[in-house]
Amino acid sequence: MKEAMELAEKARGRTSPNPLVGAVIVKEGKVIGAGYHKKHGDHHAEVNAFNAQRESSHGATLYVTLEPCFHYGKTPPCVDRVIKEEVGRVVIGLKDPNPLVAGKSIEKLQKHGIEVTVGVLEEELKEQNRIFLKYIKTQRPYTVIKTAMSLDGKIATASGESQWITGKGAREYVHTLRDQMSGIMVGVGTVMEDNPSLTTRLKEKEGKDPHRIVVDTRGRIPLTANILHLKSKGKTIIASTELMKRDKKKALEDLGATVLMNPIKNERVDLRHLFEKLGEAHIDSLLVEGGATINFSLIEEGLVDRIMSFIAPKIIGGESAKTPIGGRGILRMEEVISLQNIKYRHFGEDLMIQGDINSGT
């Protein structure tokens, strides 16, 4: 199962909105076939494993990280191929929560006399497929807020300068995160202040540009913004409201941007409505690289799943210097948000603290 899990990881960021899945076929103590789901619309892991097998899998054991699919999608049901290959046993890491599957394949395998074991490396596989599990249950994107700050909690100097707080290693890792996610979200303030491109730049391989989502209640984004003039497979999406002028909307669309209109909530874009729309567009994951306002708004709406905070051993100071989380804040210590499943990682002199937050889902 560990080998199957390692295979599945190779496709991170390429199978969206499908899960990461790996499969290994073992017969008489040796691996006779292995495969993984390489990209959305391609053969599933089980099929790739069977297609690669060096001998008949009759009586063999199939190890697969997720319950084989039961339904027709872009490919036929994998469970039928498993039965056809006459394996003797199937070991499944995770039961598929997709209502179209949800135990049906397990039941079908058992009805055909195939022994089934479920729950091997289950917790590790839940972490590996955290994006899929959130999306399939809620139809909203799995959301990570990324912040970079000084030791005293500042994301910029009092004059607004923010490049670069963290070092090269941390910045390169952020591009790895972009490569793995479906979308990257910022507020319009970040676009106006920093004019970012929000693309993926990797050394070792060509990166996948995520869709770029700008939350812009009143349509303030400049028509000269870099993200409106990119040659990229990732779309630029402007999330706005009726407060955006019609001629601005048309101008943005003429530049190739998609404008998503949303209801207004507390004088801003209704973020829950926006997340539903993003889910409908099969955007299953978001990396938020915005400022203090949007970070707090997302947390306040219960839309955040994970926080990644990069901390540089630097002191900036300044009462007016910005911090990662703004908004009205939390008034009572007993109500503060405590992260769970804390992990630490060093990038040169910088420290990354990662934790999960109760998203209310």
Q: Which residues are tagged catalytic?
A: 46
The structure tokens 């099969």 sit at: 282
Strand stretches in the chain, DSSP E: 22-27, 30-36, 61-66, 89-94, 115-118, 142-150, 183-187, 211-215, 236-240, 258-261, 264-265, 268-269, 285-288, 306-312, 340-347, 350-356
- Alpha carbons 57 and 26: distance in angstroms, whole number: 8
CA angle 356, 139, 329 (to 5 degrees): 40
- Alpha carbons 191 and 220: distance in angstroms, whole number: 10
Backbone angles phi, psi at 294, to 5 degrees: -70, -35
* DSSP summary character for residue 129: T
| DSSP bridge partners of 298 | none
Backbone angles phi, psi at 221, to 5 degrees: -60, 130
- Alpha carbons 142 and 275: distance in angstroms, whole number: 10
- Cβ atoms < 10 Å from Cβ of 90: 26
Concatenate the DSSP letters of all residues of 130-184 into one string. Answer: HHHHHHHHHSS-EEEEEEEEETTS-SS-TT---TTSS-HHHHHHHHHHHHH-SEE
Buried residues in 37-65 as b, exposed as e (16+ CB within 10 A): bbeeebbbbbbbbbeebeeebeebbbbbb
How distant, in Å, are the alpha carbons of 64, 173, 292 from that of 335? Answer: 42, 32, 19
